[in-house]
A and B are shown apart, each in its own frame.
Chain A
């Protein structure tokens, strides 16, 4: 079954700004883009998440949350999202071009 969310993504990808944000972003995702840009052209040392394998994002978030991986702010942010919320955000970022 093609979900409503997938359908919205497909429409979003046609838009000229790369489709970022055009899709219905899952809760929390729009805040992430304050640091993790939705544009390839921004020069920042912050990890790029667009187009990343969602599983890698989820693994990183779990490691930040458990304290296995030390971060600057992600140790705190990661604790603010459940596994399901994290996965939805990771899937959304992975689908951005």
Chain B
């Protein structure tokens, strides 16, 4: 694989600051297979890159990712609640590189769909035959008045795991007993639909055990949410005096925030929380917009068989950024989509027709240590959309015994190990 080594050296040189306008063609010519560039090394991108290389080692695969360390969002709510170390969320790309995938640790700054070229932060340019965009989400800073990047330093979103997760944890730890915590939840669609409610549950667990006079209010821009009955039953059972959920029709939509005065406003009232966790509306990561694959909604329409963009040929979009019909924006879904996309890519570059796929989503939420719940479904393409296979969709039983909740919490842990093993192990 001298070709890929040359290419890696080129990228290293580029990262070191040397101007490289274009990769030398001779280096590429040594790779007999197709050139696939994957942008984004998370649940969908890392999975897609590895799976594609496994399906056809002749394909030259480059994974573009700005960070050397990946911090996973699933289970980061346990970090917020002081139940887990953030190191358990963090992974590197050594094993990915061992698969002979070329790593480019820099941001992608532009895509030219016509000349099939990705430009990186260093100025290096990567030609592709097929491009996979897996950029995850960007936060819409404009959507909650007053909620800016600077405001997020006082009022963390913690919706991208890492420093923000730790900031929210530190704020909870510093809060005196009797303080008010506010979590705001956006309208659909957004990353991890049950996430705000899992977070509320685990923060309530922290408050109950460490600061029992405190309260938590969820201000919601919706009237219904994922696994709602299971969450609300559990709150009644475990956190009756702590969690209050304010739905959209009860005035839950946030109209403005002010980080300087720590004020969270709705049309009806002003709150002065000790800790404010603002989860703002989102859109596909910026590179999707730059590549012309995001539509007016800010998300990316795709073909459900290949995950190829319906707006730009030869560009595929997987994970949270894509519009995957009935599939939610979850880590499990992103991983499942990535594997279907990789299988389709392997077929497409080999001149074959991709199979009609089936995809699964399983999404665990942990309400307290030893108390897990799920929602799951199987999906198939129907009339250009991914729809639930009849009878397959649903949550854990509302009246499940305690042993079942314990088992679901254990399986959640197993899922995380398996899926991160597939990505980084």
Seen from chain A, the residues whose Cβ lies within 8 Å of a Cβ on chain B are 15, 17, 20-22, 24-28, 30-39, 41-46, 72-73, 76-77, 79-81, 85
Contact = CB atoms under 8 A, between A and B. Distances in A.
B374 A27 contact: no
20 contacts: A17-B99, A22-B55, A27-B355, A28-B357, A31-B336, A31-B359, A34-B360, A35-B362, A42-B421, A42-B425, A44-B414, A44-B415, A44-B418, A46-B411, A46-B415, A72-B374, A72-B408, A79-B389, A80-B378, A85-B358
B307 to A, nearest CB: 13
Given A21-B51, A27-B356, A39-B425, A79 B336 contact: no
State the majority secondary structure of interface residues on A. Answer: loop
B49 interface: no
Interface stretch (B5-13, B33-41, B391-399): B391-399
A34 B411 contact: no
Contacts of B57: 15
A26 B419 CA distance: 19
B335 A34 contact: yes
Please provide the 8 A-B residue pairs with the shortest distance between their CB atoms, ordered closest to farther: A80-B378, A80-B392, A44-B414, A28-B358, A30-B339, A31-B360, A79-B391, A31-B336
B396 to A, nearest CB: 7
A46 B418 contact: yes
A5 B82 CA distance: 49
Given A21-B339, A46-B411, 10 more contacts: A21-B51, A25-B343, A30-B340, A34-B419, A35-B414, A35-B418, A37-B418, A45-B410, A76-B377, A80-B379
B52 to A, nearest CB: 10
A79 B339 contact: no
B83 interface: no
Interface residues of B, number: 43
Interface string B407-424: 110110111011101100
A34 to B, nearest CB: 5
Interface in B162-203: none
Contacts of A39: 421-422, 425
B418 A27 contact: no
A45 B392 CA distance: 23
A85 B358 CA distance: 10
Interface string B239-281: 0000000000000000000000000000000000000000000
Given A21-B339, A72-B404, A77 B425 contact: no
A76 B413 CA distance: 20
A72 B407 contact: yes
A72 B312 CA distance: 40
Contacts of B23: none
Nearest to B356: A27
B418 A42 contact: yes
Contacts of B349: none
